[in-house]
Structures are given as C-alpha cells and as structure tokens.
Copies of this chain bind each other. A is one copy, B any other.
Amino acid sequence: MVQTVANGIEAIAAIRKHRPDIAILDYNMPGANGLEVLLEARRWAPETRFLMLTGSMQAQMLAQLVEAGIHGVMLKDGSEAEVVDAVRQVRDGKKVISDSARRMLAAAGETAALTDRELAVVQAIARGHSNISAAALLGISAKTVDTHRTNVMRKLGAHSTASLLLSAVRAGLLDPDSLR
C-alpha cells in the first residue's frame, strides 16, 4: 500500500492510521516540519521507519533529526537509484545518512547561528511577549521584531509560536528552567 499526503498534519494522521513500514518525509512542509512529524507520528506508530528526503537542510535540523533517532536522511542531490537504495536499506533496518548530509553534520556541531538580536527577540517571546510588546521592550518597531522572528523560524524550521519555543529549547537556545 502506498499513500501520499500534502502536508505535515496529514502525514501525522496518515501514519497514525495506517502505520506504514516506511514514511518518506520532506522536512519543509506546511503545518508541521519533518522533525515534528517524526516525533509525533512515532508515538502512534513505533514500528514505522522514517526516511527524510529533503532539498535543503540546515545542519541544525539535521542534528536534531539524528538525535531523535531518524532512520534515514537523504538530500535531494542524490540520484534516483540512491534514493531507491536508501528506502531498501531503511526497510532492512539499517540507518542511512547520505554523504552530503554527513558532511554537514561533521562541519557543524555548534549551537545554531542566531544573531544577538534574534536571540533577544526569541527570549522576549519565550517570556510571553507578543511581537508588539516585545518591540516596546526592545525599543524597536514591531516590524523589526517580526522580521527577526520570521528569520529565526526559518533557521529552526518552526511554523508557529509554540514550535518556535520548542525548537529553541531543543536547540539549546533557551533554558527550559527559565520558563519556570
């Protein structure tokens, strides 16, 4: 059986319902990114193996995926045969990380590259501020806060305020204890 879905939310629902052998995911999807789908869907389909097949990938995200126990990561610079082979390998219980992805992992390792200002915005948001109140707090325009916020969300692969905070915590940018 083969099924395709249009976004992250449907992916979670479909995996949860059908518990497929393999789920091939893109990282950048509307609704929920690849990491979120992995973490959420795995709760309902522990047997399913996850292969991330994506075009662009931040080392940041990649590290999170590996840490989360992703079964395979392929960048789209690979040939068709490589992808097919990766699917087979994952099916057989092996972990597959493409060379290009592995290179990124090695080259990275440090914390996400957030600007001072971006970090300040994230921390303000993490303290419960809206764009507007954070802007008042930092003495800048709400538009600027919005720009920083958007840039950070792109870097971390988040699509909402909640997942922004989640990703920031996972990336070590925020101390969970600071939320107390």
CB of A132 within 8 A of chain B?
A: yes
Size of the A side of the interface (Cβ < 8 Å), in residues, is: 35
Residue interface bits A123-152, CB-to-B below 8 A is 1, else 0? 001111110110011000000000000000
Residues of B within 8 A of A20 (CB): none
Q: Among residues 84 to 106 in chain A, which have CB atoms less than 8 Å away from a CB atom of chain B?
A: none
- Minimum Cβ distance to chain B for residue A169 (Å): 5
Residue among A126, A166, A167 with the most chain B CB within 10 A? A166
Residues of B within 8 A of A36 (CB): 127-128
Residues of B within 8 A of A127 (CB): 36, 39-40, 162, 166
> Residues of A at under 8 Å CB distance from B?
8-10, 12-13, 31-32, 36, 39-40, 125-130, 132-133, 136-137, 158-163, 165-167, 169-170, 176-177, 179-180
